[in-house]
Chain A
C-alpha cells in the first residue's frame, strides 16, 4: 500500500480541526484519499503491476505481442489491405512468389492474405463474445456457489457437473444445426454453451478459500447484501485467475469454431479462417493435390500462431495469479525476483 503522508493542507481541508478520539473505534482516519489518488492506486494495482509482470516474463511478452498483431490486423489491417476480390490475381498462385499476393491465391484468384486479414474482425468479435460469455457466467455461478454454500451450492454444482459431462462438440453441432446462427457473436456464445461449467467449478474452489476471510466476514456482519459482497469483496480477490481463464476460453472458441466451420456445420455467412479451410478442403481437393495445399495451410498456420500466442500469454500471466508475486511488483520494480515465483501453471488450461 502507498502511504500518503498527511500535509498541513490535507489535515484541514475545510479549515476545521481533525478530531482525535482516545478510543480506537472513535477516532476518524486523519488521512482522506482524494478520488484521484484512489483512481491512481487502482490503476497501479490492476494495470501497472500486471503489465510489469507481463513484461518481466518472456512468454507473456511474446504471447502479448502475437495477440496485439492479430488485433491490429483486425482493426488497422482491414483499412490498409484491400478486400479480396474474385479473379483479382492468377489462379492458385503459390505463396511467396509475388509482392501483390504474398501468401498466394485460391482457385478463384482470391488473394489469400487479404482473405485472412478481412476475416479477422468477425473472428475477433466471435472470440470476444464467447470468452466474455464463458467467464462472466462462470464467475457469477462459481462465486455465488462457493460463497453461499449449502443448498445453492449443491444444486448449482450438480447442474454444472451435468453440463460438464455432456460432450461439448456434438452438443454445439446439434445446437448450431437447429439454431443456424448467423452473427459472429451468437456463434461465439453457442460454442461456449457448456464450456463455462468447468471454469465455474474451479472458480468455486478458489472462492472456498476466500469465504472465511476476515474482511468478508466483516462485510457479512455489516449486513451488506450478497451480490455486493460478491462484486466488491470476492471477485477482486480472484480477478487475476478470471483474466487468465478469459484467455484460455478465447482459445477454446477458436478451436471449436474453426473445427465446425471447417466441417461446414456452421453456415458460412461471414468470411473466416475455418470457412477458408473448408473451401480449400472441399473445392481445392485439399490434401489430395500439392498445387492447392497452400490454400489449406495458410489459414491453418494463422490459427496455430494465434493459439500459440494465447497459450504463451496465459502461461506467462499465470504468475499474476500468485498474490505474493503481485504484491512485490506493486511495491516497486526493484523488489527483486525471488524464487517463489513458480506457480502451479496449467492446471486451468484444459481442452
Chain B
C-alpha cells in the first residue's frame, strides 16, 4: 500500500516535470515560435539596441536566456518555475505569477462548486432512477440527461448569458464581484461572489450532471442484480445499511474515473467559459495571453492549470486508495506474454 502512494506521488511530480519540459521546448525550440516573436516585438518597440540588451530583455519576459547553452537554459527555466517565477506578461507589463495568483482562487472556487454539484446531483438522481427503474420518472430523466448532455457547456453558457444576462438582466454578465462590495469574509462579499459565479457554475453543472446520473444508474442496476445483495437481504440486514454500504459504495466506486477526468475537463474548459462570462480567472488570462500573443502569460496559465489538475487528481487518487482496497494491487504484476 505504501508502494502505491510512492508510485502516485512520483507520477504526479513526473507529470508536472513533463509539462514544464514541454512548455520549455515550445518556447525555446519552435522556429518562428515564442522566442522569435518576443525578440521581434522587443526590437520593434525599442528600436536600435544591441543584441545583448535584447537578450537580457527576452530573459526577463520568458525566463529563457537566449545566449546560454541549451542545458543551462533548461535548468534555469526549471528552477524559475519551481520558485514560482513565470516571467513578465508582455501585455499587462506585470509579473505573470502576480496576475495568476490573484486569479487562481476564483477559478478553483467555480470549479470546485461545479464538480461538487455535478456529482452530488448526478449520484442522487442516478440512484433514484435505478430505484424506480422502468417507471415514467426513469424514462423522462434518462431522456433529459441525454438531451442536456448533448449540449456543449459553452453553448449553455452563451444561451444563459444571452437570456438571463442581457435579455432579462437577472444575472451579471461579467466580473467576479460587484464593485461596491468590500473584500473580506462578510456576507455581502460571499453573496456577491456566489451571484457572479452562478451562471458559469450553472453552465457546467447543467451539461455535465446527466451523464453522471446515467453512469450511476447503470452501476446501481448492475449491483442490484448481484448475488451478495440477496445474501445480505436473507441475513436480515436493515434496508438503509444495504442501500448505503452495499449498493451505494459499490456503485459509486467506478465513478471515480469519471470524476478524475471531469477535473481536467472542467479546468481546461475554464479557458472558454471564463471568456464568455468575462470572469477573470486563470482561463480568462490564458485567453488574453492567446489573443495578445503574450506567450509568458499564456504558458504560465497553461502550467498553472495543469498544476491544479495534477493536484486535484493526485488527491482524488489517494482517497480512492483509502476507500477501495483493491487499488494498487493488480496491473503490473500480471504474467507477461
Contact = CB atoms under 8 A, between A and B. Distances in A.
What are the 5 tightest A-B residue pairs by CB atom distance, in nearest-first order? A150-B336, A167-B268, A169-B268, A308-B150, A149-B334
Contacts of B146: 59, 308, 311-312, 315
Interface string B271-314: 11001000000000011001100000011011001100110010
14 contacts: A162-B11, A165-B12, A166-B309, A171-B268, A177-B290, A262-B272, A263-B290, A265-B290, A307-B150, A308-B146, A344-B222, A346-B211, A346-B218, A350-B258
A162 B18 CA distance: 9
A167 B264 contact: yes
Contacts of B15: 161-162, 165-166
B73 to A, nearest CB: 18
A304 interface: yes
Interface residues of B, number: 63
B5 interface: no
Interface of B: 11-12, 14-15, 18-19, 23, 26, 30, 33, 146-147, 149-152, 154-155, 158, 161-162, 165-167, 211, 214-215, 218-219, 221-222, 254, 258, 260-262, 264-265, 267-269, 271-272, 275, 286-287, 290-291, 298-299, 301-302, 305-306, 309-310, 313, 331-332, 334-337
Contacts of B301: 170
B151 A178 contact: no
B286 A226 contact: no
A18 interface: no
B275 A164 contact: no
A33 B222 CA distance: 40
Interface residues of A, number: 62
B309 A178 contact: no
Given A150-B335, A174-B26, A350-B211, A259 B261 contact: no
Given A287-B161, A346-B215, A178 B30 contact: yes
Given A173-B271, A311-B150, A345 B331 contact: no
A171 B264 CA distance: 11
B264 A259 contact: no
Contacts of B18: 162
Nearest to A149: B334
B331 A165 contact: no
Given A287-B158, A346-B218, A148 B336 contact: yes
Interface of A: 59, 147-154, 157-158, 161-162, 164-171, 173-174, 177-178, 198, 208, 211, 220, 226, 255, 258-259, 262-265, 281, 286-288, 290, 293, 296, 300, 303-304, 307-308, 310-312, 315, 342-347, 349-351
A288 B161 CA distance: 10
B152 A165 contact: no
Contacts of A262: 154, 272
A308 B147 contact: yes
A158 B334 contact: no
Nearest to A309: B150
Nearest to B165: A287
A220 B335 CA distance: 13
Contacts of A346: 211, 214-215, 218
A311 B207 CA distance: 13
A310 B149 CA distance: 11
A168 B149 contact: no
Given A169-B269, A345-B218, A304 B166 contact: no
B322 to A, nearest CB: 19
A208 B149 CA distance: 30
Nearest to A162: B15
Given A167-B267, A170-B306, A346-B214, 11 more contacts: A149-B334, A149-B335, A150-B332, A167-B306, A169-B271, A226-B337, A296-B158, A303-B155, A307-B152, A346-B215, A350-B211
A288 B166 contact: yes
A293 B159 CA distance: 10
Given A157-B331, A167-B267, A178-B33, A304 B150 contact: yes
A116 to B, nearest CB: 16
Nearest to B293: A177
A174 to B, nearest CB: 6
A315 B14 CA distance: 37
Given A169-B271, A287-B161, A351 B14 contact: no
A153 B275 contact: no
A165 B317 CA distance: 12
B150 A147 contact: no
A346 B19 CA distance: 31
A167 B290 CA distance: 17
Contacts of B306: 165-167, 170
B334 A150 contact: yes
Contacts of B166: 287-288
Nearest to A258: B152
B108 to A, nearest CB: 14
A149 B337 contact: yes
Contacts of B215: 345-347
Nearest to A168: B268
B148 to A, nearest CB: 10
Given A162-B11, A263-B272, A311-B150, A167 B334 contact: no
Contact of A300 (B155, B222, B267, B332): B155
A165 B334 contact: no
Contacts of B214: 345-346, 349
Contact of B261 (A164, A264, A345): A164
A255 B254 CA distance: 25
Given A147-B337, A263-B275, A347-B218, A165 B150 contact: no
- Of A59, A161, A346, the most chain B CB neighbours within 10 A belong to A346
Contacts of A310: 150
Contacts of A308: 146-147, 150
A158 B33 CA distance: 30
Contacts of B287: 263
Nearest to A179: B30
